[in-house]
Amino acid sequence: MSKAHDASAAARRKAQEVLTRKQDTERTDARDKQRVAEDAKTAKLKALRLAKEAADKVARESAPPTTKRSSARAR
C-alpha cells in the first residue's frame, strides 16, 4: 500500500469517527429534549388532577348533607 492510500484511509476513518460522535450527540440531545417534554407534560397533568381533586373535595364539603331514605320507610 502506498503512503497516499494510508493517509486517505486514515482521513476517512477520522471523518467517520467525527460523524459518529456528532450523530451520537444529536441522538442524546433529542432523547433529552423528549424526556424534558414528557416530564413537563406529566407535571402539568398531575397539577390538573390535584386541582380537580381539591375542587371536588371543597364541593363535597360545602354541599348540604343528604339524607337517605329507604323505600320501605317512605311508604
The answer to whether residue 19 is domain-embedded is: yes
Q: How many domains does the chain have?
A: 1
Window from 22-26, 35-39, 58-62, 68-72 with minimum mean pLDDT: 68-72
Domain that holds residue 17: 3-57
The answer to whether residue 69 is domain-embedded is: no
Given this model, what pLDDT does residue 67 score? 73
Instruction: Please enumerate in sequence order all residues whose Cβ is within 8 A of that of 10, keeping only pairs 6 or more positions apart, or say none.
Output: none
The answer to whether residue 29 is domain-embedded is: yes
Percent of the chain with pLDDT over 70: 89
The answer to whether residue 70 is domain-embedded is: no
Say how many CA atoms lie within 13 Å of 33 toward its Cβ. Answer: 6
The answer to whether residue 73 is domain-embedded is: no
The pTM score is: 0.58
The answer to whether residue 24 is domain-embedded is: yes
